[in-house]
Amino acid sequence: MSDGVVSKVSVVRKALTGAQAAAEVMRQVEPDVVAAYPITPQTPIVQEFAQFVADGLVNTEMIQVESEHSALSAVVGAAMSGARAMTATSSQGLALMWEVVAIASSMRLPIVMNIVNRAISAPLNIHCDHSDAMAIRDLGWIMLFSENPQEVYHNNIVAFRIGEHPDVFLPVAVNQDGFITSHCVEAVDVFEDSFVKNFVGEYKAPYNILDFDNPISAGEWAMPSHYFEFRVDMKKAMDRSVGVIEKVFEEFYKETGVKMDFFEAYKTEDAEIVFVVMNSTAGTIRYVVDKLREKGKKVGVIKVRVYRPFVVEKFLELIPSAKFIAVMDRALSIGTTGSPLYQDITSGLFANKRIVLVNDYIYGLGGRDFTDDDAYEMYEHAEYSLKEGISGQIVYVGLNPNLLGR
Amino acid sequence: MATVDIKKFQVNLNPTWCPGCGDYGLLRGLQTALAKLDLDPSEIVIVSGIGCSSNLPHFIKAYGYHSLHGRALPTAQGVKMVNPRLTVIAAGGDGDGYGIGVGHLVHACRRNIDITYIVMDNQIYGLTTGQTSPTSDVGSKTKTSPDGNYEYPLNPILLAISSGATFVARTFSGEPEHMADIIVKAIQHKGFALIDDISPCVTYNKKNTYQWFKERVYKLEDIGHDPYDINQAIQRATEWEDKIPIGIFYINPDKPSYDQLDPVIREGGMFAKPEITEDEKKEILNQFL
């Protein structure tokens, strides 16, 4: 808890993994329907929740479907029929869901889905990177990222308020790093159930295909005369979500004393070199920033909490002194100039007529370990790049060149 | 059983399966069958899905592809269509073949393409550490059904017969010699063969254990079952819980396989080099002269 705001909410400190933290919010919110399929490293979320169902702690219909495609389809069906519905997945599961991911957002269904980030096949790999989430980044989902189990917990609570707001009506994906966050136990401050229930509130569905007084059909044909407008409507809803997220974060802060923001800056006010990072690696970078500051280096870090909508103007306000940005992408875009986060930042800089040198540091693919030593090396590379005026370089951190093909 | 040398199908790699896993029995049975058929590793392709059992291609010396969850069958069919002279074996678990990939099973049966599909059925999701699967018995307690599963299991034998498979059998990892003989017949069979292998999960399935099966399994050949009679096959396929038949349920030797019907595959596939006589060569040349 921070900034001297005294929380009105009573809190119990529990030892939870990231997966359990997500399941804990699911227990407190008590969605009407949960449909899921096992996949590593997501499985502990729905497994934990299945125990809550069996123990009678929640009044939720839970379906053990036969695939992730079926999981999100069942959730879409439930949401269309007026239910608050949830699922969770990882990697190949999200890839298999892809067409339904697009359906959920374009049907404007405020589903909340936990994504435990994992590399995409082939070769088969169950460890963390962000390739899975990045493959859905343009589909109209609000995307929140979590550094640790505590943030998984907070992000899940606000997710409902954001997605279900009538100005928005878009699904929300809450991301956490596979194994690193999902399977590691940390202390998590859990709010009392009544607070979470009240804060999230009663579910008011955007529409209900079972409403006999106002019968509608959904997902029908939209010819070239109408389709375009549906897409632009989604874009406008995403734009409106910015104001909604601001208000929800503010209310959350007032109630709990917990500050959340689109981008969370650490020592960036006077920083000339700024790291940008998502999810669990943020902790490592903050530690390294402290060490480098001790040596008098003007360095800071920005953690991306809200990745969609990506409000680059808010990002730019946080880096008034930046001369060099070291973007850290835990996903590799193949066939273009840089990876997803790099593209979001560089296009934002250009559009805002801000000239800053930027390199894209690709790290941690398929769970490749990223340590503070890697971060120091990255910093040295960034410092050298700034001195030499290098920009636009894609740098692979921790790559073993001996293993590369031709 | 005559001893066969399975060394040529062994690799210097220890399986990742738990000690006592039924999949060891299947691995042994399959290696024995391949040796009995006197095949060479270069003539065999094993395509698997995702799951504990789908790690199989790592542990057997043959061409292998570890594909996506549920997608062993379409991939294996692709391989077979390009080079029908290969012995193509698809493998995986019950979650893979009867859950996420069940749509492919139905169509591979219908198509009756000449591949052998082995499902190591442990009635649970093992790799994700124990959740309800499409073949979990009613009442089974798993991590996703702590108060007992109340969904009815799928019957893979009935499904395969009704979908048009022309060789349908069940084996038991506790009977590897019996299994090897059945795998030999399945591979020799011209058409789609399903082998549902009872492969107990010793770690997560506390109900359907080796002991549980040993008290229940009996061999179809011991009771004079006629696998060429579809009615008998269907009758036997409905048995479970009290008595569990293993052996060959059903063979249909009359339905042509996809390979026999498709004109390109029938002639050896798209990369087969047709034999051309000297006279035919002259005739072709004369067309251009």
Q: A113 and A242: one domain? A: yes
Distance from CA of B119 to the nearest CA of A (A): 16
Q: Is there a contact between B103 and B186 (Cβ–Cβ < 8 Å)?
A: no
Asked whether the predicted pLDDT for residue A2 surpasses 60, the reply is: no
Which of the pair, B122 or A406, is modelled with greater confidence?
B122
Angle among Cα A130, A131, A137 to the nearest 5 degrees reads: 90
Q: From the list B68, B70, B151, which residue is nearest A64 (CB)?
A: B151
Identity (one letter) of the amino acid at A24? E
Which of chain B's residues have a Cβ under 8 Å away from the Cβ of A62?
144
Q: What is the mean pLDDT of residues B133-146?
A: 94
| Number of alpha carbons in the 13 Å side-chain half-sphere of residue B88 | 25
Asked whether the predicted pLDDT for residue B39 surpasses 50, the reply is: yes
* CA-to-CA separations, B199 to A104, B133, B167, B168, in angstroms, rounded: 39, 14, 20, 17
Per residue in A29-75, pLDDT (tens digit) is 999 999 999 999 999 999 999 999 999 999 999 999 999 999 999 99
pLDDT interval class at A406 (50, 70, 90)? confident
The length of chain B is 289
Which of chain B's residues have a Cβ under 8 Å away from the Cβ of A54?
145-147
Nearest alpha-carbon partner for A341 in A351, A355, A320, A326: A326
- Residue B6 counted as domain residue: no
Cα separation, B78 vs A233, in Å, equals 42
Question: Residue B127 and residue A40: Cβ atoms within 8 Å?
Answer: yes
Which of chain A's residues have a Cβ under 8 Å away from the Cβ of B159?
none
- Counting residues of chain A whose pLDDT is more than 70, the rounded percentage is 98
| A116 contacts: CB under 8 Å, gap ≥ 6 | A18, A19, A41, A42, A45, A88, A89, A90, A175, A176, A177, A178, A181, A182
Nearest alpha-carbon partner for A5 in A210, A260, A240: A260
Asked whether the predicted pLDDT for residue A321 surpasses 70, the reply is: yes
Question: Residue A67 and residue B144: Cβ atoms within 8 Å?
Answer: no
Average pLDDT, chain B: 95
Q: Among A8-17, A311-320, B53-62, B265-274, whose mean pLDDT is lowest?
A: B265-274
Q: A220 at the B interface (CB within 8 A)?
A: no
Q: A249 and A270: one domain? A: no
Q: Among B10-19, B74-83, B112-121, B260-269, whose mean pLDDT is lowest?
A: B260-269
Question: Residue A66 and residue B134: Cβ atoms within 8 Å?
Answer: yes
Nearest alpha-carbon partner for A181 in A149, A224, A211: A149
Per residue in B65-113, pLDDT (tens digit) is 999 999 999 999 999 999 999 999 999 999 999 999 999 999 999 999 9
Asked whether the predicted pLDDT for residue B226 surpasses 50, the reply is: yes
Q: A197 and A341: one domain? A: no
Q: A50 at the B interface (CB within 8 A)?
A: yes
- Residue B2 counted as domain residue: no
- Residue A129 counted as domain residue: yes
Which of the pair, A4 or A178, is modelled with greater confidence?
A178
Identity (one letter) of the amino acid at A294? E
Q: A102 and A216: one domain? A: yes
Q: From the list B50, B70, B143, which residue is nearest A50 (CB)?
A: B143
Question: For residue A138, what pLDDT is reported?
Answer: 96
Per residue in A246-266, pLDDT (tens digit) is 999 999 999 999 999 999 999
Residue A67's closest chain B neighbor by CA? B100
CATH, residue A303: 3.40.50.920
- Residue A2 counted as domain residue: no
Nearest alpha-carbon partner for A359 in A376, A373, A379: A379
Tokens of A138: 């343009």
Question: Residue A51 and residue B143: Cβ atoms within 8 Å?
Answer: yes
Q: Is there a contact between B176 and B28 (Cβ–Cβ < 8 Å)?
A: yes
- Counting residues of chain B whose pLDDT is more than 70, the rounded percentage is 99
Residue A51's closest chain B neighbor by CA? B146
| B94 contacts: CB under 8 Å, gap ≥ 6 | B119, B120, B121, B122, B123, B124, B133, B134, B135, B156
Question: Residue B128 and residue A38: Cβ atoms within 8 Å?
Answer: yes
- Residue B3 counted as domain residue: no
DSSP A340-357: HHHHHHHHHHHHTT---E
Q: Which domain holds residue A27?
A: 11-256
Which of chain A's residues have a Cβ under 8 Å away from the Cβ of B64?
none
CATH, residue B163: 3.40.50.970
Angle among Cα A60, A65, A70 to the nearest 5 degrees reads: 110
- Residue B116 counted as domain residue: yes
Cα separation, B198 vs B171, in Å, equals 6
* Residue B270 backbone phi and psi in degrees, to 5: -70, -20
Task: Quote the DSSP letter at residue A42.
Answer: T
Q: What is the mean pLDDT of residues B235-254?
A: 97
Which of chain A's residues have a Cβ under 8 Å away from the Cβ of B132?
64
Task: Give the sign of the dihedral formed by CA B123, CA B127, CA B130, CA B134.
Answer: negative
Which of chain B's residues have a Cβ under 8 Å away from the Cβ of A64?
131-132, 144-145, 149, 151
Angle among Cα A316, A321, A322 to the nearest 5 degrees reads: 65
Question: For residue B273, what pLDDT is reported?
Answer: 76
Question: For residue A161, what pLDDT is reported?
Answer: 98
Three-state SS at B261: helix
* ipTM exceeds 0.85: yes
- Residue B12 counted as domain residue: no
Q: A66 and A209: one domain? A: yes
Q: A273 and A218: one domain? A: no
- Residue B75 counted as domain residue: yes
pLDDT interval class at B2 (50, 70, 90)? low
pTM for the model stands at 0.94
Q: A156 and A267: one domain? A: no
Q: Is there a contact between B173 and B199 (Cβ–Cβ < 8 Å)?
A: yes
Question: Residue B145 and residue A50: Cβ atoms within 8 Å?
Answer: yes
Which of chain A's residues have a Cβ under 8 Å away from the Cβ of B147?
54
Asked whether the predicted pLDDT for residue A211 surpasses 90, the reply is: no
Which of chain B's residues have a Cβ under 8 Å away from the Cβ of A46?
144
What is the number of structural domains in chain A? 2
Cα separation, A32 vs B229, in Å, equals 49
Residue A68's closest chain B neighbor by CA? B100
Residue B135's closest chain A neighbor by CA? A66
Per residue in A178-188, pLDDT (tens digit) is 999 999 999 99
| Number of alpha carbons in the 13 Å side-chain half-sphere of residue A37 | 25
Q: A306 and A248: one domain? A: no
Question: For residue A34, what pLDDT is reported?
Answer: 98
| B91 contacts: CB under 8 Å, gap ≥ 6 | B46, B47, B48, B49, B53, B54, B56, B57, B72, B117, B118, B119, B120
* Beta bridge partners of residue A395, listed in sequence order: A361
Identity (one letter) of the amino acid at A164? E
Judge if the upstream peptide bond of residue A123 is cis by omega within 30 degrees of 0.
yes
pLDDT interval class at B52 (50, 70, 90)? very high
Question: Strands A306-308, A142-145: parallel, antiparallel or unpaired by DSSP?
Answer: antiparallel
Which of chain A's residues have a Cβ under 8 Å away from the Cβ of B144?
38, 46-47, 50, 62, 64
What is the number of structural domains in chain B? 1
- Residue B10 counted as domain residue: no
| A356 contacts: CB under 8 Å, gap ≥ 6 | A319, A322, A323, A324, A325, A349
Q: A288 and A379: one domain? A: yes
Alpha helices by DSSP H, listed for chain B, are: 22-36, 72-82, 94, 102-111, 156-163, 176-188, 210-214, 230-237, 258-261, 263-266, 278-288
- Residue B1 counted as domain residue: no
Q: From the list B125, B127, B146, which residue is nearest A50 (CB)?
A: B146
Task: Quote the DSSP letter at residue B53.
Answer: G
pLDDT interval class at B267 (50, 70, 90)? confident
Tokens of A391: 């920009």
Q: A221 and A321: one domain? A: no
Q: A279 and A205: one domain? A: no
Question: Residue A50 and residue B50: Cβ atoms within 8 Å?
Answer: no
Cα separation, A55 vs A159, in Å, equals 26
Q: Which domain holds residue B212?
A: 18-286
Per residue in A105-117, pLDDT (tens digit) is 999 999 999 999 9
Interface of A with B in 72-111 (CB under 8 A): 92, 96
CATH, residue A149: 3.40.50.970
Cα separation, A213 vs A47, in Å, equals 38
Q: A86 and A223: one domain? A: yes
Cα separation, A310 vs A238, in Å, equals 10
| A192 contacts: CB under 8 Å, gap ≥ 6 | A9, A10, A11, A12
Which of the pair, A326 or A5, is modelled with greater confidence?
A326
Return the residue in B69, B137, B138 with the most chain A beta carbons within 10 A, the one to mutate for interface testing: B69
Distance of CA A281 to the CA centre of its chain: 14
pLDDT interval class at A1 (50, 70, 90)? very low
Q: What is the mean pLDDT of residues A374-398?
A: 98
Q: A38 at the B interface (CB within 8 A)?
A: yes
Question: Where among A236, A256, A276 does a domain terminate?
Answer: A256
Residue B170: exposure state from Cβ atoms within 10 A (0-12, 13-18, ≥19): buried
- Residue A160 counted as domain residue: yes
Q: A47 at the B interface (CB within 8 A)?
A: yes
Distance from CA of B50 to the nearest CA of A (A): 9
Cα separation, A174 vs A145, in Å, equals 6
Question: Where among A230, A256, A282 does a domain terminate?
Answer: A256
Distance of CA B207 to the CA centre of its chain: 24
